[in-house]
Structure 1
C-alpha cells in the first residue's frame, strides 16, 4: 500500500476517535448539538492542523480534504445520539482519548519522517499532533488540559512515536510498526490511569 494512503487511513481513524472523545466531553458538559459538533471537530482536527502548519504542508489536510471534516462531524453525531451505548465502556473519554493519542502520535511521527525531519524532531512532532486536539478540547470547556495535569499523557504519545522511529530504523513492515506504536501508546496511557501513575509534583502544593 502507498505510504501516504496508509497514513491518511490511520489519520482518518484518529480523527474519528478524537471526535468521539470531544463529543463525549461536550455532552458531559451539557452542551447542545452545535456545541457537541464544535468540540468534536476541534478535538479531531486541531492536532493534525498543528502538525501540517509546522511542516509547511498547506493548505492543511483537514481543510484540503473534506473527508476529515465529515468524519469529525460524524463522530460528533454518533456521540450525540448513542451516548448511553458509548458510556457502557466505563470511561469512554479516557478510552477514546488513549486510542486517539496513539493513532495521532504514530501518524504525526510518520509524516515528519516522510518530510525528511530528524528522527528526534519527528517524535516531538508526533507528540504535538497527539496532544493538540485534546488540549484545544479541554480549553474550550475551561478544563486544565490533560497534557498539563497528567504527564503520562504526553509520555504515552512519546512512546508510540518512538516505536515508529525504531521501526523505520529496523525496516519493519509499516502495518506492524503502526499496530505496535498505537498499542504501546494506548497501553501506557490506560495503565497509567488504572494505577494512578503521574510524574512527580512539587512538594509545596
Structure 2
C-alpha cells in the first residue's frame, strides 16, 4: 500500500487552485505579468500566512518550503500562457476559487489539530486559511472581499469544518471524512451561487 501524506496532497492541490484563481482574477483586471504573479502569490499563501502567524508557527510555511512558491509560479505562468484558450474566465475563476476554498479550509483544520487545538478553534483556522488569501487579493484589486458580502463564503468553510468533525465522531475513516468535507464546501459554493442563495443583509 502506498503511503502518502494527505496534508501535503491537499496543500499542493489547494495551492494550484488558488494560484489559478488569483491569476484569472488579475488577468480580468488587465494587470501586467508581474502584477498577475503577485496576485497569484498572495491568493495562494495569504490565508496560510495569517494562520501560521496566529498560532506562532514561524517562519510561515511558504518560507520553509520553496516548493510552494515554485508551484505558484509554474501554475500562474501556465495559466497566463493558455489565457487565450480560456474564454469563460468568470466561471473558471469561480470553480477554482471554490476548489481552493475547500482544500485550504481542510488544510487549516488539520494544522489546528496538529497543534492540539479544540475543534472550534480548528474550524476558525480552517476558515481563515480558506478565506484570507481571497480577502488580500480582493483588497489589492480594490474590490469588496467576498467574505464581507452577502454571498455564502466563510459560512461554507464553517459548515464544512463542522461536517468533518461530525464524520470523525461517527468513526468515518479520516481520509473519507476529508474528501467528504472538501466536496461539501465545493458543492455548497456551486449550489448557493447557482440558486442565488445568500445570508440576509443589514440595512440601516
In the superposition, the TM-score normalised over structure 2's length comes to 0.93
User: 2:141 aligned with 1:163, yes or no?
Assistant: no
Aligned residue for 1:66?
66
Displacement, 1:84? 3.4
Provide, for residues 81-105 of structure 1, a one-character-per-residue CA deviation record: whole Å limited to 9, x for no partner: 1123344576011111111000011
Aligned residue for 2:30?
30
Aligned residue for 2:85?
85
Displacement, 1:203? 4.2
Q: Map of 1:11-22 to 2, 5 A cutoff?
A: 11-22=11-22
Aligned equivalents of 2:203 and 2:136: distance in 1? Answer: 29
SS in 2 for 1:97: helix
Aligned equivalents of 2:90 and 2:60: distance in 1? Answer: 35
SS in 2 for 1:94: helix
Runs of 4+ aligned residues of structure 1 deviating over 6 Å after TM superposition are: none
Moved more, 13-22 or 172-181: 172-181
Aligned residue for 2:46?
46
Question: Does the CA-based 8 Å contact 1:110-1:164 persist in structure 2?
Answer: no
Moved more, 155-164 or 60-69: 155-164
Aligned equivalents of 2:164 and 2:61: distance in 1? Answer: 21
Which runs of no fewer than 5 residues in structure 2 stay unpaired?
none
User: 2:114 aligned with 1:114, yes or no?
Assistant: yes
Aligned residue for 2:101?
101
Aligned residue for 2:188?
188
SS in 2 for 1:123: helix
SS in 2 for 1:137: helix
In the superposition, the TM-score normalised over structure 1's length comes to 0.92
Please report the RMSD computed on the Cα atoms of aligned residues, expressed in angstroms. Answer: 1.7
Which runs of no fewer than 5 residues in structure 1 stay unpaired?
none
Question: Does the CA-based 8 Å contact 2:20-2:96 persist in structure 1?
Answer: yes
Question: Does the CA-based 8 Å contact 2:150-2:201 persist in structure 1?
Answer: no
